Structure 1
């Protein structure tokens, strides 16, 4: 008899189990020290099963990034802004939930991994830039231009520079909390909210 293939649900469940085991392994050991065999044990599958879903460790890391985007990150989309909401309020509404779970979801550790190992493994840096960092920058630049057009920001504001400034507290919090001073962690949400107020709010354009 012909062996029946696993159901779609079982295949998706196995893939997610592998992905979560890989996320934990990468977060605990870094990229270089993570081993497919160890991930397989954690996921409760054979090593060959992992390769049937992800051909290489690089592809497995990409699977982890895709999981983080789909399940815990939800990137900001400028086309979801409505006329009755200010750009500053929209950025807070859209980004604060992702900031609140940045540590618990494992995204902060993955960002720190990219910072520490990206020079030695260029493909993980490029992957992170293409899938997370650059798309977020593009959408924020669009939002900043909308804010300029609406006169929510001064006409001489520079979208590329302001985008970096908007993201700066997130990256500073990631570095501060995980590398520089983990015993005196800062609240990234608070850093982000204060920064948005400083960028967007004034006597003429209250938030």
Structure 2
């Protein structure tokens, strides 16, 4: 159950009528915005509470520390989606190339194009200074994401759709372009020439074309394998 549904009934009144309390979902929304805007180190608990319109004491009733608040934000917006994605891929009936296309496009739609993608930039920027939250992100996001991509690639190899691959490293061929897209989005496009702003859909389609042309099995010259 999403954390936004855990609030008591009295907290579910229209927002204007209840400024002394806030349900967890409002606190998580405020925390996500601030973590993305300011980073982990610079975000203060009282700022999150103020943006949600409650006291710091109310915030700590739900989340006893900034670290626990950050973990809840990650679970609500990113890692909590893996069960849903697992079910989608289990029931996927198309080719593995289509599954890779679906994976990258849906990731952008559900995570990359939303404020939640800023969490990745935060982790890249601050992991060295906050090893505990980096380890948490590794366990909750990076590891399950890589496992899911690994299974997709393995499916393609086993079905004869992809050539034999070094699966462990081929995973990064899918992950790296998406990380670049996130960093471009949240770093004011520093890596992209100003004369042509990066269009996310065109970028993903171009990456898919390059990636899949390198993965798909092609008949050898003369029709021999």
TM-score range, shorter chain: 0.7 to 0.9
Counterpart Cα distance in 2 of 1:93 and 1:174: 18
Matched, 1:111 2:120: yes
Unmatched runs of 5 consecutive residues or more in structure 1? none
Q: What residue in structure 1 maps to residue 181 of structure 2?
A: 173
Aligned positions of 1:26-175 closer than 5 A: 26-69=35-78, 76-77=85-86, 80-82=89-91, 84-155=93-164, 157-175=165-183
Instruction: Summarize the Cα distance change of 1:44–1:60 in structure 2 as closer, same or farther, 3 Å threshold.
Output: same
Counterpart Cα distance in 1 of 2:77 and 2:113: 11
Contact 1:112/1:178 (CA < 8 Å) preserved in 2?
A: yes
Instruction: Summarize the Cα distance change of 1:111–1:171 in structure 2 as closer, same or farther, 3 Å threshold.
Output: same
* Poorly superposed stretches of 4+, deviation over 4 Å: 70-75
TM-score, normalization: structure 2? 0.76
Note the C-alpha offset of 1:118.
Answer: 0.8
Contact 1:30/1:113 (CA < 8 Å) preserved in 2?
A: yes
Contact 1:176/1:186 (CA < 8 Å) preserved in 2?
A: no
Matched, 1:185 2:186: no
Unmatched runs of 5 consecutive residues or more in structure 2? 1-6, 14-21, 220-225
Note the C-alpha offset of 1:139.
Answer: 1.3
Instruction: Summarize the Cα distance change of 1:128–1:191 in structure 2 as closer, same or farther, 3 Å threshold.
Output: farther
Note the C-alpha offset of 1:75.
Answer: 6.4
Note the C-alpha offset of 1:138.
Answer: 0.7
Contact 1:87/1:143 (CA < 8 Å) preserved in 2?
A: yes
Contact 2:121/2:183 (CA < 8 Å) preserved in 1?
A: yes
Q: What residue in structure 1 maps to residue 32 of structure 2?
A: 23
Task: Tell me how large the CA RMSD over aligned residues is.
Answer: 2.8
Contact 1:87/1:147 (CA < 8 Å) preserved in 2?
A: yes
The aligned length equals 198
Q: What residue in structure 1 maps to residue 19 of structure 2?
A: none
